[in-house]
A and B are shown apart, each in its own frame.
Chain A
Amino acid sequence: MIPEFEKFKGFKAKNLPKEEPLSSGHRACQGCGEVLALRMVMKALGKDVIVCNATGCMEIITSPYPHTAWKVPWIHIAFENSASVASGVEAARKVLARKGKIPKKHVDILAVGGDGATGDIGLQFISGAMERGHDFLYVCLDNEAYMNTGVQRSGCTPYGAMTTTSPPGKKSFGQVTWKKNVPAIMVAHNIPYVATASPAYFLDLMNKVKKAALVKGPAYVHIYSPCPTGWGSAGERSIEISRLAVETKVFPLYEVIEGRYIISRKITKPKPVTEYLKGQRRFRHLDEDHIEYIQRRVDAEYEKLLRLSEMA
C-alpha cells in the first residue's frame, strides 16, 4: 500500500474545497465535459500546483492573451510535450530546493493534455517521463477525437464513431479501430498509480486526482470528457452520457495501485450499449451488426478487466 494515502481521508460532498484554481469566464463550449473535469481536477489539487498544459481545447479556452482563467502558475509550450515540460519543471524544483533557492514545500506538478496529445502525438514524451520516474501527475482529458482542430479521429476515438476523418460512407462505417487502451500502456510503465475517472462521479474523480498527486513518482489519470460539439450530443446531457458510459461498461472506472487493478464501480447489472450510443450523432449511422459487435467487445473488455482485478 502507498503510505501517502493513509493520511488522505478523501473528499466528501460536505468538505469540497471552495477554491477554484481554474476560474469561470473561460471560453469553453456549452456543456463541455472536459472543462468540467478540469475544474474538478484543479479543485482537488488546490493552489500549490504548477500546470503544464498541452495545446488543445483547454489551452485555448483558458488563455487568450491578455486574459487567463488560471489562478495557479500555468505554462503552455506545445502540443505533444507537456510531460517533458513537466519533467523540466520537476527537475528544476528538485535542484533549486536542494540548493535552498526555493522553499522545500511540496508543489504538485500537473501535466494535462487531450487524448490526441496523450495517446497519439505525445505518447513517446509521456512514456519517457513515466519511465524516468519524475514526481508528477499526468491527466488525460479524453474527448475521443481532435476536437480543437474540428473533430478528427484519434487513436482514442471509439469503434464506429463518426469524425471528420473517419466519416461513414458507402464503404465505411466510421472509425474502424477499437479505442487505444492508454491506461494499460501507462500501467506497463510500472508507475505507482494509474486510474480512470469520469465527471459523472465527481468525488471519485477528485479523490483519484488527489491520490495521483500524493503518490511519490509518476501517476496517470485518464478522464472521460464528453464533447457535445464533437459528439453531436445535447450539452445538458454531458453528465448523463458520462454516467451511461460507466453503467454500460463502455468506460469502466478503476485504479491500478502499484500494478494491482481495483475496480472502483463494479457494474453488476449493465445497461445495453445502445442506451449509451443513442443521442450521440457520432454513432447515429451504426447498424445492428455494428452495435452487436460493440456490445460483444465491450463485454469482453470488461471481462478482461475483471480478471485483472481478481489477480492479487
Chain B
Amino acid sequence: MSKRVGIEVSIAISEAVGLAKAEVIPAYPITPQTHIVEHLSEMVANGELDAEFVPVESEHAAMSCCCGAVAAGARVFSSTSSQGLSLMSEILYIPSTMRLPMVVVVANRALSAPISIWNDHQDIMIQRDIGWIQTFAENGQEAVDLTLHAFRVSEDRNVSLPMMVNIDGFTLSHVIEPIELPDQEEVDKYLPPFKPRYKMDPRRPISMGPVGIPEVYTEAKVAHDMAMKKAKRYILKAWNEFAEIFGRKYDPVASYRTEDAEVLLVTMGSISETAMTAVDTMRDAGQKVGLLKIRLWRPFPGQEFRKAVGKTKVLAVIDRCLPPGALCGPVGAELRSLFYKIPGSPKIFSFVAGLGGRDVTVERFEEIVDKARAYAKKRPRELYEVIGVREK
C-alpha cells in the first residue's frame, strides 16, 4: 500500500528513484539539487539501494558517466541545476541521438550573471533542443510521479530516449509537502526491469557513437526527430497506465476552469499553483479566466494544446526565461508558431515573470490578465513584456 507522508520534495524524489531501483547514479552537487543526491548517496551507503553512486568531479563528467553506464546496460539517474546543466550541455545532445535512456531531474534555477541560486526556467530553456523528453512538475506529488513515469517512458523500447523532469528549485525542491509514496510492489508492476536493446557486451560487440559522414548524418537526426514525435503516444500510454495503478491521471496539457474562459493564462511548473488561486479569485469576481498548464514540453503536445485552448480568444503566456534580443520568451514563441495563420486562432500575449526567484503573486497574475485584455483591444507596441520590474 502506498503511504501518505509529510516529506521534503527532494527526499521524495530520491525515494522514487530508489523505488525505481536505479543502478548507477553519477552526480555532482549544485544548489538546489543537492538534497536529491545527498539522500540517494545515503540510501546507497545504508544498503537500502543496491546502486553505484559515482561522486564525479563535474556535471560534464556526470553526464559522460551516465552515457557509459547506460551503454553498459544499467538503469541510470542523475540530477542537476542551472550552471551544472549548462556544463553538461555539450554531452546532453549525445545520449538522445544515440538513444540511451536515462532520467535526470533538474531543479530549475537561474543562470549567471549575476549569480543567483533561485528559481526560474532559464537553465532548461537553453537546453530545449537537446532532444530529450522534458516534463515539468507542478507540485511535490507530481515530481515523484513524473520521475517514475520518466523511467518507464525513457526505457520503453519504442521510445529509448533520455528524459528530463523539471522541478522548480527551492519552491519545489525544498518544501515539505504531503506526498503519497507508492509501495515497491506497485512500482515493480509499473516499471519492468531495464532491458536495453543494445549494450556493450564483449559476447556481442557493437560500435556505438561512430562518425556520421554527410551521407548518414541527416538520416540520424531525422530518425531522432521521428523518435521524439513517436514518443508522445508512449508518454500518454504510460500516464494512462500510471492512473490505473496509482489513481492519479496526468495529461500533457492540464486545464483549470477553462470552460467559457475569455482569457487563458499559460504556465509551466510550480507557479501554476499560484495561478490556480489567481484564477479562483478572478472567477469569484466574475471574470471569465482559466488556466492551461504545460506539463509535457518536449515533444511539444501541439494537438492537445490547441484542443485545450478551445474557443478562447486570448492567451496570456508566462515565460520564466528572458532571452535577450529575442522576439519573446520560448514558450510564447512556441505557441505563436503553433497558432500561426490558423483560422480563428487566439491572440497570444507574451509575458516574462518570476526571474531569479522573484515571486509571481496572485496580484501579478491579475495584472497579466488585465494587460492581456487591454492588448486584445489595442495591440501592444512590444511582442512581450516583463512583469514586476522595479522602477527604482
Binding site for B on A (CB under 8 A): 47-50, 52, 59-60, 63-66, 68, 70-78, 80-81, 84-96, 98-99, 101-102, 107, 124-125, 127-128, 131-132
Taking a contact as CB atoms under 8 Å apart, the answer to whether B202 and A81 are in contact is no
- Report the stretch among B59-67, B144-152, B179-187 that lies at the interface: B59-67
Taking a contact as CB atoms under 8 Å apart, the answer to whether B24 and A92 are in contact is yes
Residues of A near B66 (CB, < 8 A) are: 88
Residues of A near B67 (CB, < 8 A) are: 75, 77, 85, 88
B192 interfacial by beta-carbon distance below 8 Å: no
In-complex Cβ contact of A75 among B23, B50, B209 (8 A): B209
Residues of B near A125 (CB, < 8 A) are: 57-58, 60-61, 64
B201 interfacial by beta-carbon distance below 8 Å: yes
B211 interfacial by beta-carbon distance below 8 Å: yes
Residue of B57, B66, B207, B213 most packed against chain A (CB within 10 A): B207
Bound CA span A141–B51, Å: 33
Q: List 25 A-B contacts (CB under 8 A).
A: A52-B68, A60-B211, A63-B211, A64-B211, A65-B211, A65-B212, A65-B213, A70-B207, A74-B205, A76-B208, A77-B94, A78-B90, A78-B94, A81-B60, A84-B56, A84-B62, A88-B68, A89-B72, A91-B74, A92-B70, A92-B76, A95-B52, A107-B202, A125-B61, A132-B54
Beta-carbon contacts of B182-225 to A below 8 Å, as 1s and 0s? Answer: 00000000000000000011100111111111001000000000
Taking a contact as CB atoms under 8 Å apart, the answer to whether B202 and A72 are in contact is yes
Bound CA span A75–B210, Å: 8
Taking a contact as CB atoms under 8 Å apart, the answer to whether B52 and A77 are in contact is no
**Count of chain B residues with a beta carbon within 8 Å of a chain A beta carbon:** 42
Beta-carbon contacts of B67-82 to A below 8 Å, as 1s and 0s? Answer: 1111111101000000
Bound CA span A75–B61, Å: 16
Closest B-chain residue to A108, C-beta based? B202
B55 interfacial by beta-carbon distance below 8 Å: yes
Bound CA span A90–B72, Å: 8
Closest B-chain residue to A74, C-beta based? B207
Residues of A near B91 (CB, < 8 A) are: 77-78, 81
Bound CA span A18–B61, Å: 36
A71 to chain B, nearest CB (A): 6
Taking a contact as CB atoms under 8 Å apart, the answer to whether B64 and A81 are in contact is yes
B26 interfacial by beta-carbon distance below 8 Å: yes
Main secondary structure, interface of B, reads mixed
- Given the interface pairs A48-B202, A64-B210, A73-B202, the reply to whether A102 lies near B73 with Cβ below 8 Å is yes
Residues of A near B90 (CB, < 8 A) are: 78
Taking a contact as CB atoms under 8 Å apart, the answer to whether A95 and B50 are in contact is yes
Taking a contact as CB atoms under 8 Å apart, the answer to whether B68 and A63 are in contact is no
Residues of B near A50 (CB, < 8 A) are: 72, 200, 202
Closest B-chain residue to A68, C-beta based? B207
A126 to chain B, nearest CB (A): 10
In the complex, besides A74-B208, A75-B207, A99-B50, 10 extra interface pairs with C-beta distance below 8 angstroms are: A48-B202, A64-B210, A66-B216, A75-B68, A86-B68, A88-B76, A89-B69, A92-B76, A95-B24, A125-B57
Closest A-chain residue to B67, C-beta based? A77
Closest B-chain residue to A125, C-beta based? B61
- Given the interface pairs A73-B200, A75-B200, A95-B23, the reply to whether A89 lies near B212 with Cβ below 8 Å is no
Taking a contact as CB atoms under 8 Å apart, the answer to whether A93 and B56 are in contact is no
Taking a contact as CB atoms under 8 Å apart, the answer to whether B200 and A88 are in contact is no
Residues of B near A71 (CB, < 8 A) are: 205
Beta-carbon contacts of B16-47 to A below 8 Å, as 1s and 0s? Answer: 00000001101000000000000000000000
Residues of B near A64 (CB, < 8 A) are: 210-211, 213
Bound CA span A246–B74, Å: 44
A267 to chain B, nearest CB (A): 37
Closest A-chain residue to B53, C-beta based? A91
Residue of A49, A75, A76 most packed against chain B (CB within 10 A): A75
- Given the interface pairs A60-B211, A68-B210, A89-B200, the reply to whether A96 lies near B72 with Cβ below 8 Å is yes
Taking a contact as CB atoms under 8 Å apart, the answer to whether A81 and B61 are in contact is yes
Bound CA span A94–B213, Å: 35
Bound CA span A76–B94, Å: 10
Taking a contact as CB atoms under 8 Å apart, the answer to whether A73 and B211 are in contact is no
Closest A-chain residue to B74, C-beta based? A92
Taking a contact as CB atoms under 8 Å apart, the answer to whether B72 and A128 are in contact is no
Taking a contact as CB atoms under 8 Å apart, the answer to whether A65 and B210 are in contact is yes
Residues of A near B201 (CB, < 8 A) are: 73, 102
Residue of A78, A88, A124 most packed against chain B (CB within 10 A): A88
Taking a contact as CB atoms under 8 Å apart, the answer to whether A87 and B68 are in contact is yes
Task: Sort A-B residue pairs by CB-CB distance and give the 9 closest, nearest first.
Answer: A88-B68, A128-B57, A84-B64, A92-B74, A88-B69, A81-B64, A92-B72, A73-B200, A85-B68
Taking a contact as CB atoms under 8 Å apart, the answer to whether A92 and B211 are in contact is no
In-complex Cβ contact of A78 among B26, B64, B74, B200 (8 A): B64
Residues of B near A85 (CB, < 8 A) are: 64-65, 67-68, 71
Taking a contact as CB atoms under 8 Å apart, the answer to whether A89 and B68 are in contact is yes
Taking a contact as CB atoms under 8 Å apart, the answer to whether A89 and B71 are in contact is yes
- Given the interface pairs A94-B52, A96-B23, the reply to whether A88 lies near B72 with Cβ below 8 Å is yes
Taking a contact as CB atoms under 8 Å apart, the answer to whether B73 and A84 are in contact is no
Bound CA span A56–B58, Å: 22
B278 to chain A, nearest CB (A): 45
Closest A-chain residue to B61, C-beta based? A84
In-complex Cβ contact of B209 among A76, A87, A88 (8 A): A76
Residues of B near A70 (CB, < 8 A) are: 205, 207
Closest A-chain residue to B22, C-beta based? A95
Closest A-chain residue to B213, C-beta based? A64
A104 to chain B, nearest CB (A): 13
In-complex Cβ contact of B74 among A72, A81, A96, A132 (8 A): A96
A113 to chain B, nearest CB (A): 12
Taking a contact as CB atoms under 8 Å apart, the answer to whether A91 and B65 are in contact is yes
Residues of B near A66 (CB, < 8 A) are: 216
In-complex Cβ contact of A87 among B23, B54, B210 (8 A): B54
In-complex Cβ contact of A128 among B50, B52, B58, B209 (8 A): B58
Bound CA span A99–B69, Å: 15
Residues of A near B60 (CB, < 8 A) are: 80-81, 84, 125
